[in-house]
Amino acid sequence: MLNDRDRFQYVYQMATKDTSLTLAMVSLMVHYTWNWVGLVISDDDQGIQFLSDLREKMQRNGICSAFVNVVPVNNQFYLRRHGIYYEHIMTSSANVIIIYGDTSSTLDETIRMWQYVGTGKIWVTTTQWYDISSKKYLSLDPFHRTFTLSQHCGDNYGFKKFIQTLKSSKYLEDISLEMLGWMYFNCSVSESKWKTLYNFSSNTSLELLTQHTFDVAMSEESYHIYNAAYVVAYSLHELLLQQVDIANMDIDNRPQSDCWKLNYLLKDMQFTNPVGDLVDMNQKRKLDPDFDIFNSWDFQESLQVKVKTGRFSPYLPQEQQLQLLDDMVEWTPGSGQIPSSVCSATCTPGFRKSQQEGKAPCCFDCIPCPENEISNDTNMEQCLKCPEDQYANTEQTHCLQRTITFLAYEEPLGMVLACLALCFCALTSLVLGVFVKHHDTPIVRANNRALSYILLISLDFCFLCSLLFLGHPNTATCILQQTTFGVVFSVAVSTILAKTITVVLAFKLTTPTKRMRWLLVSGAPNFIIPICILIQLILCGVWLGTSPPFIEADSHSEHGHIIIVCNKGSVSAFYCVLGFLGSLALGSFTIAFFARKLPDKYNEAKFLTFSMLVFCSVWVTFLPVYHSTKGKVMVAVEVFSILASSAGLLGCIFVPKCYIIFLRPERNLFRMHCEKRNPLPVSFK
């Protein structure tokens, strides 16, 4: 209201506006990491404006208000709610309270009441409230201290010297015993304390007495009064000079008082006071003041000292605006630990903040970062995801470089699979050599030598193709893995199908027709092999033409590793290849199953049935296991399935023949003797 220059054109504000006071208080909160504070503000225009500015700066710096007590100026309203205000302070988890308001308001009564019960809080306020606290309106216990902020005033050494040398005998009429009693004892002087006053010598300095009520240094309000006196003095001096210049030099012409002229000089007065500070009465040119920060120390019950611990200057860079001497701040005697005032504990690295529903932003829960995400700072809102070539450490505080790996020959699993593949390949080659050496024996001739040779050679390639899955993958091996696997297994299974059909035609058709006999003689079942190979080649060609296999870096299957694997490209094409092999195996199994009890010594349908049963069992088991694994284990499962199914075919079909050739040669010879008398069907020749 006083800013209305039309109504109050002769009113001047000596103090600058508290525009930077809120920023200074918030900077103090940020420095000590206090983000949960209570506010006690007087319900007047100045208090509401202060609250608005303070909330804006608190929100900008991540500080929340635990409660806001707006103390009404009306005494009747205040009495209704003073208990609520006290309960807010005592029950709140905030250990820091900001007080702002007029000392003559009902807020003064609130401070008086808290003196008797104590609150155990840290108070942040302006210097005018320090005067109240020094009068014991605010009870300070040794575990918590008070910070007061005061506009920076120059050091007036003349004022200090005057107080230090002031003696009661010098100004006896002005400084009466009643004044000394009020200043020292802060109350009406009782009879016992009158005697104490009489003991003071007339030459005793008043410095000791004044230390109990105010500092020797000039206070903020006194400094403004000091400047006001100089403003008027300079203005009057200038007015006198102007009048002297205008008037005649007649000594009897005394300057006349002119309020309008004095006002004109006052409103634009600018000078440097004796302290060395610039005083500018133009409100538009006034700068925001610096603030001195004081901390109160209680040495004794009746002795309280205000110690300057820092300064705030709004014109310095942001990181240099607040300058504090933390060593000068005393918290708990014997301990330098700063009390905390937070709603929630700090989230350490590895955790992120999760806002508590319906509460202030400063109230949150700390939850661990998700997998492969980190937080390398405190109170992070979101975790940071590690790059694909890195992974989060156990504490999830930083990312580590992943190790590139694959199913190599050198590692134990790869070495075992490679050895098995080579051993089975050698064993298959040995069986092939045995069959070639004994190619004229009945046991070899009865099993269709040509188809047996084809089957053994295809099984050799089946064992060898498993080696394509080992070692560092590249584009060529990724393509050869699946296509070679599909083609060589098609050869093997289609050969078994041809053998099965041949057995059935030979033994099931006891009285074959000319057409059936022609089929046996011409070897028509053998055409099944190229037909099946052609179909499989077409499927593989479509697969490679639409979505061929490619190299993939798998960073999710194994923690801390990047696994180089071959992505199959089109999964549908892969299952079409497997499905075709499954159809051939199922057809062979079905035909052999129905011919397993044919009454002939050379009937191998039961061995073919068992081999197809093993083959189908391996690949039926392969599907769920393959889908439940990842990375190198998935590759190992496929290699193991190739080896197991191929070994099943080798063992079930050829081991019984080798057993007769090596361990029961008499049975092989017996068959040769019988063959001379009862020749075998032509198909077996």
DSSP per residue over 72-117, as a string? -SSHHHHHHHHHHHHHHHHH-S--EEEEES-TTSHHHHHHHHHHHH
Higher pLDDT, 341 or 253: 341
pLDDT grade, residue 366 (50/70/90)?
very high
- Distance between CA atoms of residues 480 and 496, nearest Å: 24
pLDDT grade, residue 629 (50/70/90)?
confident
Residue type, 218: M
The pair of three-digit structure tokens given for residue 631, joined into one six-digit string: 């990375």
Determine the pLDDT at residue 426.
Answer: 94
Distances (CA, A) of 233 to 228, 239, 269, 316: 8, 10, 11, 33
Residue type, 276: G
% of the chain residues with pLDDT over 70: 75
Least confident residue range of 257-266, 292-301, 327-336, 672-681: 672-681
Q: Answer whether 67's CB lies under 8 Å from 360's CB.
A: no
Higher pLDDT, 481 or 677: 481
pLDDT grade, residue 582 (50/70/90)?
confident
List, for residues 161-182, the tens digit of each pLDDT value: 776 676 655 655 555 545 555 5
Per DSSP, 286 falls in state: P
Determine the pLDDT at residue 449.
Answer: 82
pLDDT (average), residues 490-516: 72
Q: How many residues in total does the chain contain?
A: 685
Determine the pLDDT at residue 201.
Answer: 47
**3-class state of residue 257 by DSSP:** coil
For residue 374, the cross-strand partners are 384
pLDDT (average), residues 232-245: 86
The CA-to-CA distance between both ends of the chain, in Å, stands at: 125
Determine the pLDDT at residue 644.
Answer: 92
Structural domains in the chain, sorted by start: 21-151 (3.40.50.2300), 165-280 (no CATH), 351-401 (no CATH), 412-684 (1.20.1070.10)
List, for residues 114-165, the tens digit of each pLDDT value: 655 556 788 888 876 655 444 444 444 433 467 888 887 766 667 777 766 7
Q: Evaluate if residue 31 carries a pLDDT over 80.
A: yes
pLDDT grade, residue 606 (50/70/90)?
confident
Determine the pLDDT at residue 349.
Answer: 92
Burial zone of 374 (CB within 10 Å; 0-12 exposed, 13-18 middle, 19+ buried): buried
The residue among 419, 426, 405 whose CA lies nearest residue 472 is: 405
Q: 3-state SS string over 361-400? A: CCCEEEEECCCCEECCCCCCCCCEECCCCEEECCCCCCEE
Determine the pLDDT at residue 351.
Answer: 93
Mean pLDDT value across the chain: 78
- Distance between CA atoms of residues 282 and 274, nearest Å: 19
Beta sheet of 122-126, edge-to-edge order: 64-71, 36-42, 96-100, 122-126, 146-151, 291-300, 303-312, 322-324
- Distance between CA atoms of residues 216 and 213, nearest Å: 10
Q: Which of 73-77, 423-427, 564-568, 586-590 has the highest mean pLDDT?
A: 423-427
pLDDT (average), residues 312-331: 85
pLDDT grade, residue 425 (50/70/90)?
very high
**3-class state of residue 415 by DSSP:** helix
- Distance between CA atoms of residues 130 and 127, nearest Å: 5
